[in-house]
Structures are given as C-alpha cells and as structure tokens.
Amino acid sequence: MTWQAWTTIGVVLGMILVLIRGRFGPDVVVVGAVALLVFLGILTPSQALAGMANPGMATVAVLYVVVCGLTETGAVQWIGSILLGRPKTQKRALLRLMLPVTVLSGFVNNTPVVAMMIPAIEDFCRRRSWPVSKFMMPLSYAAILGGTCTLIGTSTNLVVYGEWTESGREPMGLFVISILGVPVAVAGILYLMTIGQKLLPDRGAALRTGSDSRAYTVEMIVSPDGPIAGKTIEQAGLRQLPGLYLAEIERGGIILAAVGPNERLQNNDRLVFVGQVDSVVDLQKVRGLETATDQTVKLHAPRPDRVLVEAVVSNSHPLLGMTIREGGFRTKYNAVIIAVARNGEQIRKKIGDIVIRTGDTLLLEAPRSFVVQMRDARDYYLVSEVAGFTPPRHDRAIISISIVLLMVAIATVQPVLPIPMLAGGGNVKLTMIHAAVLAAGLMLITRCCYGWQARKNVDWIVLVTIAGSLGLGRALQVSGAADGIASLITTVAGSSPWLTLVGIYLMTMILTEMVTNTAAAVLMFFVAEAAAEGIGVDLKPFALTVMMAASASFSTPLGYQTNLMVLGPGGYKYSDYLRVGLPLNAIAMAITVVLAPLVFGFGQTR
C-alpha cells in the first residue's frame, strides 16, 4: 500500500482512539480527522465536503423537520402510548419497543422509524423517571436487526442487490435474506433483553423528583368524548407523571378525594393535580385534557407563539388581595394563570377564586413578549420562561401521522412519476429523499410545525458527524487503503470457501464500523465477487454475507446513521457502543457464517 493508504488508516485509528476516550464531541473529532487528511493532500476539499450533499445525510436532516411536526402536534406521545403501553418493568418495556420496531424496519426505511421513536421514548422515560440510555441504543439496534430481514429493509441490501442484478445474475426474492436475518434478529433481541440490558449505561433520567420545592396546584378538565373519557386513571396514564399526583376529582359538584387508580374518568370531570413545574408542563400535552380556565382562547396571540412563564408576585402587585377573576388578570396582562404555587400549600379553590398574595408563584400561559415586558416591572420579583414547552396542536395530530404514513409508502414503493428528467433521461423516481422532503414541506404547509420550530429541532452535531464520516470513507477509497485491506483477505484465507466467507464478513464488519455501511457494502461486494471466482464457488452466500455484515453495525456510532441519531439523546459515549455492540457483532457473525453455507451452499461458479 502507498504512504497515503497507511496515513489514512493511521488517521482513522487515531480518531477512533480519541472518540473512545470521550473528551471531545464526535463532530469535532471527525471533522478534525477529515481536515487533517485535506491538509496532507489525501483528500481534495471537494471530496471532503461531498458528504454534505450526500442523500443519506440530507434525508436525516429533513427528517428532523418531519419529527418536529409529530412532536408539536402531540402525535409522538400518542404513538408512544400505543406502542409502549404501560409496562411495569423496564425489561417488558424494552420488549414492547423492540418487537414492533424490528418488524416495521424490515419493510420501511429504518431512519424515519428511529427518528419518530426518539422523542416518544424520551417522553416515555421522563414520565417514569427511567434512564433513557436503557432504551435508545436498543431502539437503533432493533431497527438495524429488522433491516436485515428483507431485501428492502436497508439501503445496504438494495445496493448489493443492485450490483448482483447488474452483473447479469438471476434476481433474488424479497425474503431470501430472511433465512439469515430473522435468526440474527431473534438472537439479537434475546441478547439485548438479558446480557445487553445489564451492559447498557444508566444515564439520562429525565426528571429528579424532589429537586423542586414548588408544588403547583393545577386544574384540568376531561374533554367531552375525548380519548381518555371512560378510561381509568391508570389506563389514562395519569399516575405515571413523576413529581405529580392527582389530589381530587370534582364531578357534578361532588368532590372525590383519595382517588384510586381504578376510578373511571367521565366527561367534564375537573381534575386537581399538585406537583412540580416539569410535570405540569407534561400535563398540558396529554390528549383529552384541557386547562380548566377558558381564558386561554381569549389571549391575543396564536398558541404556537405562546410560552409558559413562572412569575413570583411582588409586594407591589396591583392585584394583591383580589381573586384572579375579580382582578381581571387576563385583561390586564394578556396572560392566563394555569397553576399557582404557595409555599408547598395545596390551594383548594378554583383558579378564578384564588386570592393573589405576595410570594405566590404563578404559572402563566402568555405571549413570548410577556417575559421581556415584565422582567423589569415592579409587579413581579422574578419572571422566567419555562423551557421546552409549546402548546401542542392536538387537532393536527391525525394530519401529521397521515403525512408520515404517506412518506413511508412513497419510500417503500418508490413510484416512477411520468415526469421526464432533464439530466440523464428517463422519468423521476421518488426515493427516500423525495419522500422526506415532501413530508417536511407538508408539515410546514399544514402548520403541524412552524419554521422556527423546525430549525430549532435540527441536531447539527449528528449531521456534521455523518457528513464527516462520509468524507473518511472517501479517503479510504481514494488512498487505496480499502483495496489493500480487502486483498489481505484472499491471501490469508487461501482456497478455503468457509475461511474466505469468514474473512469477507469480518472485513466488511470492520469497514462498516469505520466508514458508512453503504460504502463498505459496495467495496466488499466486488472483493467477494473476485474471491468467489478465484476459488470457483457460487457468489450467492458471499453476497448475502456482505449484506448482513454491512448492515450489522453495532460497535461504533459511525457505522450506521441510526447509531449516530441516538448518540446524543441517549447520553452515550463511544465506549458504550463497544461494550454493548461487540457481543452483538459476534452473535450476528456466528449465525451468518454458519447458516449461509448450510442453506445456500458454495456449489460451483455459475
């Protein structure tokens, strides 16, 4: 190999060591490695920046807008409650998460599946005070395992299959790889449910109960004929908000105290909760609950432009000694009081009948301008915005879900439109990037989310890391490092078909962890083809082995974009992927290299 190849290998290995130590962010390390290769003349600037225009990277970027639409309409919480339910243990919750994700990923692109589930899991874990790190990595792994079960499960499978058919060979069936993928998926889920669960880090508990001494009293109304009317308290999920408890229910003028979990909710029940501000925020997002006050509809600002604000009443407040209704609070401040906290005391009055006192902490729904206007006013000692709250638009939840289903359908069928392409001839074929851009546009047009929300929702660390890793893959190609590594396999394996198969899997797996899975699959398919022809055996088990090895990327966040997507939300370090993923890599490899020759045989070259 040339000095450029050895230098590239050295830079990649050094980058991996720095990532393992975890002192710097992955985006900084990856971009630094690419910049060094440009400085050394191994990569040209255009080659280094080509990853920014990669369809895969662009698809992930656009999907953040799609997920924003799901989140802002409350659809994420709805989907999460359906899929995850109300499991009593983390192990049961893990099973309920992985099974549907695995099945779904076998037929649709797994990137939108993971993108959609990340905020649902964050909300699910926050409600139960469970560490989110116990679920994010299994989410990505389940999506990867599901993708190995069909030829359309991952782009990697489609790339290898495309090379297979272009070489003039007989087409394969949709489920031909299922013989390898399903056993690997089953074994992988069993591993993650047992040993893997113990190896996962315990980080990212979303809420620490007891960290906030303020106990707000808040009233909510059960929406008539809403989704939670007729359900018990337990079934509605109203006992699973940490730092919040249901103090009483007012029904037809009768107070029901000490409410049990089996009490059924009825239309127009008035529910009185006491708890911390984070849980009060979560309460506003529950489908089927409305704030008890009807004043929110009278505010002079659209709901998406409103925020929750905490304001501490000063001794010079003009409404001291008056009830909220008598003082005309909404008219005076263009803000509505959602809840009141008073030194941990439970205030047993309706919001409008509460008398305002010095030191009361008011939780307000108000326009964004309220914080600026009141920050220096004498009416309040302190005014601060509550982070992470935008009133969900539940009426658009069905629209956002329909848009996602349309996107998945287009990405799966990939129809050809009768529109001639100006470049290259032929008609326009809708792929995943087309479907994602269409869905993002529809989310904005239908007001499922707004532009400023979409921009805020994009995770630039993930995007920069993906683009940088694509640049590293390009460096391995142009420097000759990839070819040099691959040629090593045939030298070591000699004429043994099984050893060659093991070598192909091992090298594909290593390349996948260092570069993108698609790049590794393309490189190794041609290596596998040459190796099979050299020893005179059938290419089919080798081609399927390349598909499995290129997709089964578990031990680094760089090998598969869903691993990168859960890196930040799960609070993971590079070493976490090595600890949990290496055994899963070994399991997938053992099953594949044993089953592939047994099921398909090596035979003779066709």
pLDDT digits (tens, 9 = 90+) for 239-295: 766 677 787 888 887 878 777 778 888 888 888 887 777 777 777 777 788 777 665
Lowest mean pLDDT among 359-373, 472-486, 570-584: 472-486
Q: What is the mean pLDDT of residues 171-197?
A: 89
Residues 96, 84 contacting (CB under 8 angstroms): yes
Residues 320, 356 contacting (CB under 8 angstroms): yes
The pLDDT value recorded for residue 140 is 92
**Does pLDDT of 605 surpass 60?**
no
Between 312 and 67, the more confident residue is 312
pLDDT digits (tens, 9 = 90+) for 295-312: 555 666 666 677 888 889
Q: What is the mean pLDDT of residues 500-514?
A: 84
To 10 degrees, the CA torsion angle through 122, 126, 83, 137? 40
Residues 6+ apart with CB under 8 A from 336: 291, 293, 295, 296, 298, 299, 329, 330, 364, 365, 366
Q: What is the mean pLDDT of residues 114-128?
A: 79
Lowest mean pLDDT among 1-15, 200-214, 462-476: 200-214
Task: Find the radius of gyration of the CA atoms of the chain.
Answer: 28
With cut-offs at 50, 70 and 90, classify the pLDDT of residue 181.
very high
Between 597 and 604, the more confident residue is 597
The pLDDT value recorded for residue 442 is 94
pLDDT digits (tens, 9 = 90+) for 207-247: 444 444 567 778 888 888 778 888 888 878 777 666 777 87
pLDDT digits (tens, 9 = 90+) for 472-495: 777 877 888 767 766 776 677 667
Burial-class residue 318 by CB neighbours within 10 Å (0-12, 13-18, 19+).
exposed
Comparing C-alpha atoms, which of 572, 599, 585 is closest to residue 145?
585
The pLDDT value recorded for residue 394 is 75
**Does pLDDT of 63 surpass 60?**
yes
- φ, ψ of residue 232 to 5 degrees: the values are -80, 165
Between 538 and 285, the more confident residue is 538
DSSP letter for each residue of 458-492: --HHHHHHHHHHHHHHHHHHHTSHHHHHHHHHHHH
d(CA 434, CA 518): 19
Percent of the chain's residues with pLDDT above 90: 12
Residues 189, 142 contacting (CB under 8 angstroms): yes
Mean pLDDT for all residues in the chain: 80
Give the chain's domains with CATH numbers. Answer: 3-203+469-600 (no CATH), 216-275+286-385 (3.30.70.1450)
- φ, ψ of residue 214 to 5 degrees: the values are -75, 125
The pLDDT value recorded for residue 156 is 74
List Cα–Cα distances, 131 to 89, 122, 236, 240, 463, in angstroms: 12, 9, 22, 15, 25
d(CA 356, CA 358): 7
Q: What is the mean pLDDT of residues 432-458?
A: 86
With cut-offs at 50, 70 and 90, classify the pLDDT of residue 139.
very high
Joined together, the tokens standing for residue 102 give 């695995």
With cut-offs at 50, 70 and 90, classify the pLDDT of residue 15.
confident
pLDDT digits (tens, 9 = 90+) for 147-160: 888 876 776 777 67
Task: Write the DSSP symbol of residue 201.
Answer: -
User: Coil, strand or helix: which one is 396?
Assistant: helix
The pLDDT value recorded for residue 512 is 78
Joined together, the tokens standing for residue 560 give 């598969």
The pLDDT value recorded for residue 298 is 61
Burial-class residue 279 by CB neighbours within 10 Å (0-12, 13-18, 19+).
buried
d(CA 577, CA 553): 10
Q: What is the mean pLDDT of residues 578-595?
A: 93
Residue with tokens 């390390």: 29
Q: What is the mean pLDDT of residues 582-588?
A: 93
The pLDDT value recorded for residue 82 is 76
Q: Find the length of the chain.
A: 606
Between 425 and 58, the more confident residue is 58
Residue with tokens 């307000």: 364
Strand-pair partners of 337: 364
To 10 degrees, the CA torsion angle through 207, 212, 216, 222? 10
Alpha helices in 44-174 (DSSP H): 45-49, 55-72, 75-84, 90-105, 110-128, 133-147, 155-166
Q: Classify strands 361-367 and 427-429 as parallel, antiparallel or unpaired.
A: unpaired
Comparing C-alpha atoms, which of 375, 359, 410 is closest to residue 109?
410
**Does pLDDT of 138 surpass 90?**
yes
Task: Write the DSSP symbol of residue 415.
Answer: P
pLDDT digits (tens, 9 = 90+) for 26-40: 788 888 989 999 999
pLDDT digits (tens, 9 = 90+) for 398-418: 898 899 888 878 876 777 666
CB atoms within 10 A of CB 223: 18
Identity of residue 282: D
The pLDDT value recorded for residue 490 is 67
**Does pLDDT of 364 surpass 60?**
yes
Q: What angle do CA 104, 108, 110 make, to 5 degrees?
A: 80
